[in-house]
C-alpha cells in the first residue's frame, strides 16, 4: 500500500471542492485517491476493496490497520456515523452520531438475516453514514445460484440492491466491501456496473522504505535501502513482524547485553538495537553462530557484514512467509549450478547467456518477455532453466498446483500468484510441463475455468511493464497442446528447442559434465573410447546418459573402486542399460520442437535444411501415427 503522508478524507459531496481537499487527496495512497475521486464525481457509492486488505497503511509515518485508516483518516472527517460488520463479530461502530438510537437489532445479533435489514434502515434514514463490510466473500460467496440457500440468496440480492438505491446516494452514504480475492465474491456483485472494484497492491519500494525508516530510524540510508530490496514481496505487517517483533523488554535488554559482548564496545547503538530485534527467540548459541561463527575479533564484524547477516535473516523468513502464505502455489528455486555444468548445447547457452548479460546490465529492452523450452522428455530443459536463473541472478520461483475443485478457487489461486510477482522485484518464473499445468481436461466440463485461467495468464504475460522484471520460462514436450495465442511473440518471444545428442561429438561433453557433476574420475579417457563407450549412446536422452553414468558408478562401488569407474564398468553399463522408449512419440516431439523453434541455427543438421512444407508433411504423418497418446 502506498504511504499516506497527510490527512485525506472522502469529503461530503458539495458544490465546491476546496484546494486543501484536493491537495490532501493527491497525497493519499493511490487506491484511496481513486475511491475518493470516483465517489466525489458521483460515479458510484458502493465499492469493493480487494487484494492486500490485511496489511498496514502508513499515515504521517505511523502504520495503521486498513480499517483504522478507513475509519479515522479517509472517512472519519466527513462521516457522522461509521459502522463495521462481519458475520463473526457482528456490528461495531467506529463513530456514531450523537442521539442515534434503535440499534438493538444491530448490536444484539450477528446473522446476515437480522443484521442486513437493520443496516439497510440506517442507509435509508441516516445521512453521512459509511458502512464497511469485512470479509465480503462470506456475505455473498461465489457459487452456483442453484446451490444457494435462502439466506445466501437474500444476502446477495440485498447487497446488489444497495448499489442502486437512490435514497442511499441522496443521503450521501457510502458502502465499502473488503475482500482479499474479488473472484471469491459472487460475480453478480463483483461485476455490477454500479459497484467500483479497486485493488490494493502489495507495498512498493517507497512504502517499504518508509516503514523501515520508521522501525529502524538509527540505521543509515544505505542499510535502509538494502533492507528495502531484501523485503520485496512482503506485506508491511510482515516486515514489521520481522524487523520489530513485539517482545518482552527484559529479553530485549538481555540480548542487547549479549550482542555487545559479541561485537565489542565499538559496536554502534543502532546495530545493537536492530540486531536485538532481529534475533528475537534465538538462543545465545544461535546468535553467536549467526554473527561470529568463528572465534574472530569483534572488530572484524564490519557494518556491511552485519547488514549482510540481517539481509540473510530477512531473506530466509521472507521465503518461509511467501511459501506458507501461498500454500504451495509458489515455490522458490535455488539454482545449484550455472552453464558450466551444462554439457554441449553451445548455441542454446550462447542465446541464454546473451539474455542473462542483458539482465545483469539492466538493459531491459533486450530481454524477452518469456521463453518456451520445448523438446522431448529428458533433454535437459529444467536443468538448463536453473542454470539460466543462476547466470541471470534473478530470484527464481516456480508455479505449484493452483487448480482446485472448488468453484472460483482456481482463478483466485492464480490471481494470488500474479498479485505477488510484481512486488517481488526482478524474478524468473518457471512453469514446468505447462501443457498439463494449464490443461483442465474437458474444457466444456469445468464451467469455463480453463479458458478464464488462460485468458488471465495471457493478459499478465503480455503486460509490457513486466519486461525485464518478470521473465516467464515455460517448459513442455507437447507444445501442440498449448493455447496457440499464449505462444505468440510478445508473451513467449523466444522458443528454444532441445534435442537428444545427435552425434558422438555432442554426447562427449554431456558425459564429461555428468562425470564432473557426480564427482566421478574414470581411470580411462572417455574420448579415447568413443567407439566402445560414446558411439552406442548417440540418441540417448540426457536423463538416459545420466542413468548409464550412475550405473557405471554403482558397478565400480561394488568392485571397491568408489568414484573411480573403470572401462569395464562403463562397457557393462552401456550394454546393460535399457532406456524406456516410445520411438514414434519421441520422433513426434522432436518434430514439434523443430516446428516451434525461433532460430534455424539451433536445429540439428538433419532438421536445419527442412523446408516448411517438408516439415509440415512429416509432422502430419507423425501426428497420425501417435494419435491421441501423450
C-alpha cell recorded at residue 185: 465474491
User: Per-residue pLDDT tens for 187-200?
Assistant: 999 999 999 999 99
Query: Which one, of 340, 387, 389, 384, lies nearest residue 542 by Cα?
Result: 384
Integer Cα distance of 394 and 391 in angstroms = 8
The dihedral through the CA atoms of 105, 110, 113, 116 has a sign that is positive
Q: What is the DSSP letter of 438?
A: T
The three-class DSSP label of residue 415 is: helix
Return d(Cα 10, Cα 3) in angstroms, integer.
Answer: 17
Which residues, 6+ apart, have CB-to-CB distance to 421 below 8 Å?
397, 427, 429, 470
Report pLDDT digits (tens) over 202-221: 998 999 999 988 887 777 88
**pLDDT tens digits, one per residue of 524-545:** 888 888 888 888 888 888 889 9
Low-confidence stretches of the chain (pLDDT < 50) are 1-8, 14-23, 25, 247-250, 293-303, 440-445
Could you tell me the end-to-end alpha-carbon distance of the chain, in angstroms, rounded to an integer? 46
pLDDT tens for each residue of 417-457: 888 888 888 899 999 988 887 764 444 445 566 777 888 88
Would you state the cell numbers that stand for residue 478, as one nine-digit string? Answer: 507437447
Give the per-residue pLDDT at 474: 94
Kindly report the CA angle at 567 between 562 and 572, in degrees rounded to 5?
90
Q: Within 13 Å, how many C-alpha atoms sit on residue 110's CB side? A: 7
Per-residue CA distances from 590 to 303, 413, 488, 546, 593 (Å): 55, 34, 20, 20, 5
- C-alpha–C-alpha distance, residues 494 and 496, integer Å: 6
pLDDT digits (tens, 9 = 90+) for 292-338: 544 333 333 334 555 776 777 787 888 788 777 776 678 888 888 89
What is the reported pLDDT for 295? 39
319: CB partners within 8 A, 6+ apart = 332
pLDDT of res. 241: 83
Q: How far is residue 129's CA from residue 125's CA, in Å, rounded to a whole number?
A: 10
pLDDT at 576 (0 to 100): 92
Q: 469 phi and psi, to 5 degrees?
A: -115, -40
3-state secondary structure 176-194: EEEECCHHHECHHHHCCCC
What is the rounded distance in angstroms from the CA atom of residue 401 to the CA atom of residue 408?
15
- Angle separating helix axes 567-576 and 542-558, nearest 10 degrees: 130
What is the β-pairing status of strands 370-374 and 494-497? parallel
- The pLDDT value given to residue 138: 93
What is the phi/psi pair of residue 196, to 5°? Answer: -95, 130
- Containing 249, the helix (H) or strand (E) segment is helix 249-263
**Burial track 296-305 (b if 16+ CB lie within 10 A, e otherwise):** eeeeebeeee
Position 115 scores a pLDDT of 94
Query: Residue 571: which H helix or E strand, with range?
Result: helix 567-576
Amino acid at each position: 500500500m502506498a504511504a499516506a503522508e497527510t490527512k485525506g478524507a472522502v469529503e461530503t459531496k458539495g458544490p465546491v471542492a476546496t484546494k486543501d481537499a484536493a491537495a490532501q487527496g493527491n497525497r493519499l495512497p493511490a487506491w484511496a485517491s481513486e475511491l475518493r475521486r470516483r465517489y466525489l464525481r458521483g460515479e458510484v457509492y458502493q465499492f469493493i476493496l480487494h487484494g492486500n486488505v490485511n496489511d498496514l497503511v502508513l499515515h504521517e509515518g505511523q502504520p495503521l490497520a486498513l480499517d483504522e485508516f478507513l475509519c479515522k483518516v479517509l472517512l472519519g472527517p466527513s462521516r457522522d456515523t461509521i459502522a463495521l460488520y462481519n458475520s463473526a463479530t457482528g456490528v461495531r461502530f467506529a463513530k456514531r452520531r450523537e442521539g442515534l438510537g434503535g440499534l438493538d437489532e444491530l448490536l444484539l445479533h450477528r446473522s446476515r438475516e437480522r443484521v442486513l435489514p437493520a443496516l439497510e434502515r440506517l442507509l435509508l434514514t441516516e445521512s453521512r453514514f459509511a458502512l464497511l463490510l469485512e470479509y465480503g466473500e462470506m456475505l455473498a460467496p461465489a457459487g452456483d445460484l442453484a446451490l444457494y440457500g435462502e439466506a445466501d440468496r437474500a444476502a446477495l440480492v440485498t447487497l446488489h440492491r444497495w448499489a442502486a438505491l437512490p435514497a442511499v446516494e441522496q443521503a450521501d452514504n457510502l458502502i465499502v466491501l473488503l475482500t482479499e480475492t474479488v473472484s471469491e465474491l459472487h460475480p453478480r456483485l463483483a461485476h455490477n456496473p454500479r459497484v467500483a472494484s479497486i485493488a490494493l497492491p502489495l507495498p512498493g519500494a517507497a512504502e517499504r522504505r518508509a516503514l523501515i525508516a520508521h522501525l529502524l530510524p538509527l540505521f543509515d540510508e544505505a542499510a535502509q535501502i538494502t533492507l528495502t530490496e531484501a523485503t520485496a514481496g512482503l506485506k508491511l505487517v510482515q516486515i514489521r513482524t520481522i524487523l520489530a517483533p513485539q517482545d518482552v523488554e527484559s529479553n530485549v535488554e538481555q540480548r542487547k547485553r549479549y550482542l555487545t559482548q559479541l561485537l565489542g564496545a565499538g559496536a554502534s547503538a543502532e546495530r545493537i538495537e536492530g540486531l536485538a530485534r532481529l534475533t528475537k527467540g534465538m538462543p545465545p548459541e544461535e546468535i553467536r553462530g549467526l554473527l561470529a561463527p568463528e572465534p574472530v575479533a569483534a572488530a572484524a564484524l564490519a557494518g556491511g557484514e552485519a547488514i549482510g547477516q540481517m539481509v540473510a535473516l530477512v531473506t530466509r523468513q521472507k521465503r518461509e512467509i511467501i511459501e506458507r502464505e501461498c500454500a504451495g502455489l509458489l515455490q522458490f528455486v535455488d539454482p545449484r549450478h550455472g552453464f558450466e555444468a551444462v554439457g554441449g548445447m553451445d548455441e542454446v547457452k550462447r542465446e541464454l547467456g546473451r539474455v542473462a548479460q542483458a539482465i545483469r546490465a539492466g538493459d531491459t529492452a533486450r530481454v524477452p518477455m518469456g521463453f518456451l523450452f520445448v523438446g522431448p522428455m529428458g533433454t535437459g530443459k529444467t536443468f538448463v532453466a536453473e542454470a539460466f536463473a543462476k547466470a541471470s541472478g534473478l530470484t527464481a520461483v516456480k508455479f505449484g498446483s493452483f487448480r482446485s475443485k472448488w468453484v472460483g478457487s482456481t482463478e483466485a489461486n492464480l490471481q494470488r500468484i500474479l498479485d505477488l510477482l510484481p512486488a517481488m522485484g526482478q524474478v524468473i518464473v518457471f512453469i514446468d510441463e505447462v501443457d498439463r499445468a494449464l490443461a483442465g481436461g474437458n474444457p466444456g466440463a469445468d464451467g469455463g475455468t480453463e479458458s478464464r485461467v488462460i485468458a488471465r495468464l495471457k493478459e499478465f504475460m503480455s503486460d509490457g511493464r513486466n519486461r525485464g522484471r518478470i521473465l516467464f520460462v515455460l517448459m513442455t514436450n507437447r507444445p501442440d497442446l498449448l493455447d496457440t495465442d499464449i505462444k505468440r511473440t510478445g508473451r513467449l518471444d523466444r522458443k528454444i528447442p532441445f534435442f537428444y545428442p545427435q552425434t558422438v561429438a555432442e554426447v562427449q561433453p554431456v558425459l564429461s559434465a555428468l562425470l564432473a557433476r557426480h564427482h566421478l574420475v574414470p581411470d580411462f579417457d572417455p574420448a579415447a573410447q568413443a567407439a566402445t563407450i560414446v558411439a552406442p549412446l548417440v540418441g540417448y536422452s540426457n536423463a538416459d546418459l545420466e542413468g548409464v553414468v550412475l550405473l557405471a558408478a554403482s558397478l565400480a562401488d561394488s568392485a571397491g573402486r568408489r568414484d573411480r569407474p573403470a572401462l569395464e564398468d562403463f562397457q557393462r553399463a552401456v550394454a546393460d542399460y535399457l532406456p524406456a522408449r516410445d520411438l514414434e512419440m519421441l520422433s513426434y516431439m522432436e518434430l514439434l520442437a523443430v516446428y516451434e523453434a525461433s532460430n534455424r541455427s539451433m536445429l540439428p543438421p538433419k532438421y536445419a535444411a527442412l523446408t516448411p512444407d517438408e516439415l509440415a508433411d512429416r509432422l502430419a504423418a507423425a501426428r497420425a501415427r501417435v494419435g491421441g497418446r501423450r
